[in-house]
Structures are given as C-alpha cells and as structure tokens.
C-alpha cells in the first residue's frame, strides 16, 4: 500500500538488509522501465506471458525399457508368511527412516513448528493468528520413468494428499523438475509429458504452480536419470489446533481406510505392483505402470479430510504410499510403540497385492470408536468409502487377509529394521571405501 513503504524498510533494516523503492503498479497493461526519468524500455504484459515465444524442440515417443507385463518367473500367492519380506521392505532406501539426514538441521526455528520433518507434512503456526501452514514434498522418479504423465500427476496428488492428511486445504504448488539431456528427442518427450501431467493434476486439485525450476543434462556416461519432478504443496489450516498428527497415540482406537481409489482387477494390480517398492526391493524387478489415479476422487478426499479435521473426529491420518497399507500401518505406530490388528478383504487377490499395493487416494485414519459413524457419513457425502479394517493395539503389528495372518511381528522389531537401515548402510559404504585405503597405507 502506497505510503507504508517505511514499514517495509524498517523490517529490512532490522535484519541488516537493504531495500529501495523501485517502482509502482500502474493501470496500463505494460511494463515500463525508466532510467533517470527517461523511458528506456516498454513492453506489453502479454508479450511476457500469453504471447511469450515457445520452443518447439524435436520429440520422439518415450519407450520405457522395462516390460509392460509381469515376468512369468514371478508368482504371487505362494508365500503364507510375508513378515520377512515386509521387514526387508521397511529397511529399503525409499522407505527407511531418514532422521539421520534431517536431524542435522534445525527444524524448530522461532518455535513455530507444530509438526516437524519426517511426517506426512510439516506444519508451522502463523504467529499472531490461529492459522497454520502445512507443507509437503513428493516425487517418484520410477513412476515417471514408467509413465511420465501419470507419474507427474501422482507427484502432485501425493504431495497434496500429505498436506490434506494434516487437516489443511492444499492451496498452491512449486516444483523442481529433473531430467536428462533434452537434446535427445525421447528425453524431451518425457519433459513434455510431465508438464502435461502437472498441468492436469494442478488444475484438478486447484493448486496453481507459483514457481519452480528445471534441471536438465543430468547424465552419467550418456545415461540420463529417471525423469523426476519433485512437487511441493502448501496448504492452510484456519485453526492450527485442528492439525492432525500421523502417528497412533493410543491402543483401542478404530482404524479405517478412507478411500477414493478405483477398483482394480487382479490383472490390473499385477501390472501396477511392478512399479512398487515391493517389486523393486523384494522381487528385484520393475515392470508395468503406476496405479490408476482419479483426480476427481483425489480432490474429494482432500475436502473430506479438511472437514473431518475441522470436526475434530480424527486421532491420526497417514496416506498409503510406498510399501502399501502394511508400511502405512507400521510407520504410524513407530513413534509411540503402538501396533495394529487389521483384517483386510482380498476380493480373491493374492495377499501380496493386498498389503503391498500402492493404490492412490487412500488414507489410514484412526479415531475413537464413537466417531466411526460420523466419519463414514462424511465419507459418503464426498463419494468415498470409509471401511473399518481393525484397531490399534499395544506393541505388535498383525495383518490378516480374509482372516489368515500374513504379517505378524513386534513393533520394536520392525522399528529397528526401519530406524537403523540408512545409518547402517552409510557406515558400511564408508568402511568399504576406507578399508582398502588403510590396508594400502599399512
């Protein structure tokens, strides 16, 4: 507001920074630059926006090397106990605990932090108000490698879903887009499809992109990285006291699966499971494509979560992502040593496809038993399902499929695998490099 410049200057001065008055907003649709009072540049706004020049670089269809169908050597439904596979999955690089990294930085600056790093979304309070801001980053390079457009849509949806899990309403996005050499027509095609996917998802979820950056030429020996859009979403909590935590905080709470995920046949899931962490880390193979995504249902899921938070019906909320619903249940219990007793319905599917599938638009929520009916009513209002799948219990994780136990272990045992994996791997790699050097010197 004109006349209040001195207030802005005072803030800059307080922090030892310089600020100058350089111009003003005008009614003309032009940008005009003056130097010592003389106009030295004048250009219509449209020339910098809608009429900006476009590059038309050569593009060729991106053909992803992995097979489209499940390899014949891989069979599901043969294992009766999946606990060992699950423990291995929890220790995998994309799922294991990352606190070794982020705890080296201060996440409590000015004591505004409500929910810190390592959770679904970080939440900070806006001092002087009841409001809070929730923020999340997400991206899955492997999914974009298999299908650049659909993978990019998932990146937006998951970041927004993580913000919604905190009870906030997603508002806007930023991005960091990482690719190989765009002078190679298939890589340029990856980039083009990713932009199309971001556009479609951000439009559907009403999260305009406010800024970002692109990094090209990320190659080693001529081999490009996976196309990896990393999406940041910020959302608003009108009352920060309504923020929903991701962790189970007590035994005896009901567990519900809030879902807008489309129904999948076994053939669909056998194709999409090939894009999962389970396929890569446990089965040692990658194939197929990412799971289907219904952006209308995804948007409804976010709206439902905001309403459930405002009504105070939730004890916790955590989305289903890497590692499937099994990983979601385990990670939600690690903070307080709370486990889960869950019975999932297979609908004729092998157990691996039930517990490790990374279906979109699903959130595991916990609540007191008396709130179950109210939560289900909100779910119906938004065209979602809210199925009771079990309850929180003390110290153990037990997952049954159609009544048959397929995963069972103490929370402490699973937490140890998840908690120590990154540090142990980094120390092992350091030792591997240092031992030959020490031996050589000796």
The answer to whether 358 and 161 have CB atoms below 8 angstroms apart is no
Beta carbons within 10 angstroms of residue 239's beta carbon: 13
Beta carbons within 10 angstroms of residue 8's beta carbon: 12
Those residues with Cβ within 8 angstroms of residue 68's Cβ, 6 or more apart along the chain or in another chain: 271, 287, 288, 289
Distances (CA, A) of 115 to 98, 119, 234: 16, 8, 14
Distances (CA, A) of 398 to 18, 248, 404: 59, 15, 10
Q: Indicate the DSSP class of residue 141.
A: H
The answer to whether 270 and 74 have CB atoms below 8 angstroms apart is no
The answer to whether 360 and 261 have CB atoms below 8 angstroms apart is yes
What is the enclosing helix (H) or strand (E) of 144? helix 141-146
Exposure string over 264-281, b if 16+ CB within 10 A, otherwise e: beeebbbbbbbbbbbbbb
Each of the 442 residues of the chain gets a pLDDT tens digit; together they read: 999 999 999 999 999 999 999 999 999 999 999 999 999 999 999 998 888 888 889 999 999 999 999 999 999 999 999 999 999 999 999 999 998 888 777 777 666 888 877 778 999 998 889 999 999 999 999 999 999 999 999 999 999 999 999 999 999 999 999 999 999 999 999 999 999 999 999 999 999 999 999 999 999 999 999 999 999 999 999 999 999 999 999 999 999 999 998 777 788 889 999 999 999 999 999 999 999 999 999 999 999 999 999 999 999 999 999 999 999 999 999 999 999 999 999 999 999 999 999 999 999 999 999 999 999 999 999 999 999 999 999 999 999 999 999 999 999 999 999 999 888 888 776 666 655 555 555 5
Nearest in space to 125 (alpha carbons), one of 143, 112, 144, 141? 112
**Phi first, then psi: what are they for 227, rounded to 5°?**
-60, 120
Q: Residue 40 is encoded by which pair of tokens?
A: 């030295």
pTM, full prediction: 0.88
Report the distance separating Cα 313 and Cα 309, nearest Å: 6
Chain center to CA of 77: 29
Backbone angle region of 131, left / alpha / beta, with phi > 0 → left and psi within -120 to 50 → alpha: beta
């Amino acid at each position: 507001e004109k006349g209040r410049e001195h207030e802005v200057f005072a803030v800059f001065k307080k922090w030892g920074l310089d600020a100058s008055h350089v111009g003003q907003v005008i009614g003309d649709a032009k940008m005009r630059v003056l130097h010592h009072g003389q106009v030295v540049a004048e250009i219509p706004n449209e020339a910098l926006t809608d009429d900006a020049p476009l590059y038309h670089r050569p593009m060729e269809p991106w053909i992803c090397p992995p097979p489209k169908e499940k390899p014949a050597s891989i069979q599901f439904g043969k294992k009766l106990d999946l606990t060992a596979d699950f423990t291995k999955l929890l220790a995998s690089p994309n799922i294991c605990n990352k606190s070794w990294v982020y705890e080296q930085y201060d996440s409590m600056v000015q004591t505004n932090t409500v929910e810190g790093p390592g959770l679904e979304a970080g939440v900070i309070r806006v001092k002087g108000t009841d409001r809070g801001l929730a923020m999340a980053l997400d991206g899955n390079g492997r999914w974009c490698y298999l299908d650049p457009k659909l993978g990019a849509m998932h990146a937006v949806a998951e970041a927004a879903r993580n913000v919604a899990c905190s009870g906030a309403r997603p508002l806007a996005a930023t991005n960091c887009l990482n690719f190989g050499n765009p002078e190679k027509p298939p890589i340029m095609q990856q980039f083009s499809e990713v932009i199309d996917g971001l556009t479609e998802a951000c439009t559907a979820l009403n999260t305009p992109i406010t800024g970002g950056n692109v990094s090209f030429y990320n190659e080693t020996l001529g081999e490009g990285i996976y196309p990896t859009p990393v999406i940041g979403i910020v959302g608003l909590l009108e009352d920060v006291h309504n923020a929903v935590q991701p962790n189970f905080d007590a035994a005896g709470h009901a567990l519900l699966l809030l879902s807008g995920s489309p129904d999948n046949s076994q053939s669909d899931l056998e194709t999409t499971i090939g894009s999962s962490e389970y396929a890569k880390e446990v089965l040692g193979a990658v194939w197929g494509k990412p799971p289907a995504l219904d952006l209308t249902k995804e948007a409804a899921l976010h709206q439902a979560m905001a309403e459930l938070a405002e009504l105070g019906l939730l004890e916790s909320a955590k989305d289903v992502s890497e590692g499937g619903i099994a990983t979601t249940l385990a990670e939600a219990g690690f903070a307080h040593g709370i486990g889960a007793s869950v019975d999932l319905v297979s609908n004729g599917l092998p157990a691996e496809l039930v517990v490790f599938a990374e279906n979109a638009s699903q959130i595991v929520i916990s609540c007191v038993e008396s709130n179950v009916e109210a939560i289900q009513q909100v779910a119906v209002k938004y065209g979602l399902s809210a199925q009771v799948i079990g309850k929180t219990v003390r110290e153990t994780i037990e997952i049954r499929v159609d009544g048959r136990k397929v995963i069972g272990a103490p929370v402490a045992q699973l937490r140890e695998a998840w908690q120590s994996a990154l540090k142990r791997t980094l120390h092992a790699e350091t030792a591997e490099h240092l031992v030959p050097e020490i031996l050589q010197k000796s």
